[in-house]
């Protein structure tokens, strides 16, 4: 395999992975999206709620707030030393007490652990009119998206690197012109110069001109977009550790069964 990093932003990472196959890139996608854990609100104890929203709606909205996650500080409840009872190593509380008139934002949640806080503080939770009150305690746990989508760490997508071919220099010229500088070459070899900006629209334009597009089944453009709880590199590192652990478990079982 060969890897070339194309773009790295706070919440987004794009790279080319060469010399692999669909099975492997899809394994990575599934592990990154469903098995890398993050913190999210699990249970809410409502003390007072005279807002316009039902308790369930407020609890649902709290569940969808991405929270900054430190994977070294918290355990999955089922793997914790407390054996699932709940302790400071596997759960943390967010509390709120507010009275209208005001809008309650994610940044108003007071956390037991200052490191665990909403990624996007300006997410509105509810508007309170004069005299309306809201008071609750939200219990946050580490979980993964296999159990609930609110624990999802990222969005991952990939595609085979496109190979554009034409049977004449005239068609090649038309394709290069129509693709606004993203494509270069002649009928012998057309190369996509900017894979990050290349999309299906350009493929349709080229196909209308008479080009044939084939997507590679061994070289891929891979994107990871974090929802903000973890940095993309943390997701990749932790996800790779999970895959490693699964393979170790498989070998151990295999050796035991001999």
39 lines the binding site for Zn ion (CB under 5 A): no
- How many residues interact with Zn ion (rule CB under 5 A)? 5
Residue keyed to tokens 């316009």: 52
Nearer to Zn ion, 12 or 89 (CB): 89
139 lines the binding site for Zn ion (CB under 5 A): no
> Strand 212-226 to strand 12-18: parallel, antiparallel, or no bridges (unpaired)?
antiparallel
Q: How far apart are CA 192 and CA 116, in angstroms?
A: 43
Interface with Zn ion by CB under 5 A: which range of 79-87, 92-100, 149-157, 168-176? Answer: 79-87
Question: Binding Zn ion by CB under 5 A: which of 17, 40, 80, 94?
Answer: 80
Nearer to Zn ion, 3 or 82 (CB): 82
On the CB side of 187, how many CA atoms lie within 13 Å of its CA? 8
What SS3 state is found at 83? coil
Question: Binding Zn ion by CB under 5 A: which of 30, 60, 68, 89?
Answer: 89
H-assigned helices in the chain: 22-34, 55-63, 169-178, 200-209, 232-257
CB of 84 to Zn ion, least distance (A): 7
87 lines the binding site for Zn ion (CB under 5 A): yes
Q: Which of residues 90-109 bind Zn ion (CB under 5 A)?
A: 90
CB of 3 to Zn ion, least distance (A): 37
Q: How far apart are CA 11 and CA 225, in angstroms?
A: 6
Question: Binding Zn ion by CB under 5 A: which of 82, 149, 191, 233?
Answer: 82
Q: How far apart are CA 249 and CA 243, in angstroms?
A: 10
104 with 128: CB under 8 angstroms? yes
CB of 93 to Zn ion, least distance (A): 13
Closest CA to 140 of 48, 34, 32, 38: 38
Interface with Zn ion by CB under 5 A: which range of 66-74, 83-91, 112-120, 131-139? Answer: 83-91
Binding site for Zn ion (CB under 5 A): 80, 82, 87, 89-90
């Amino acid at each position: 395999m060969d890897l070339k990093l194309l773009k790295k932003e706070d919440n987004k990472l794009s790279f080319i992975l060469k010399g692999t196959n669909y099975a492997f890139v899809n394994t990575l996608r599934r592990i990154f999206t469903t098995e890398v854990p993050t913190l999210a609100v699990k249970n809410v104890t409502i003390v007072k709620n005279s807002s316009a929203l039902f308790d369930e709606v407020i609890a649902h909205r709290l569940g969808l707030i991405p929270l900054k996650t430190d994977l070294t500080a918290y355990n999955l409840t089922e793997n914790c030393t407390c054996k699932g009872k709940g302790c400071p190593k596997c759960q943390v509380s967010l509390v709120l007490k507010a009275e209208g008139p005001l809008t309650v934002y994610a940044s108003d949640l007071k956390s037991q652990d200052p490191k665990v806080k909403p990624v996007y503080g300006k997410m509105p939770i509810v508007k309170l009119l004069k005299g309306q009150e809201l008071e609750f305690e939200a219990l946050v746990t580490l979980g993964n998206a296999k159990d609930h989508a609110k624990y999802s760490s990222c969005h991952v997508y990939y595609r085979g690197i496109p190979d554009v071919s034409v049977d004449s220099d005239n068609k090649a010229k038309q394709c290069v012109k129509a693709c606004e500088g993203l494509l270069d070459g002649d009928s012998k070899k057309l190369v996509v110069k900017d894979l990050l900006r290349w999309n299906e629209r350009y493929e349709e334009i080229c196909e209308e001109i008479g080009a044939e597009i084939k997507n590679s089944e061994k070289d891929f453009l891979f994107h990871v977009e974090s929802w903000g709880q973890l940095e993309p590199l943390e997701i990749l590192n932790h996800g790779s550790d999970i895959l490693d652990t699964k393979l170790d478990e498989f070998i151990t079982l295999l050796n035991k069964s001999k």
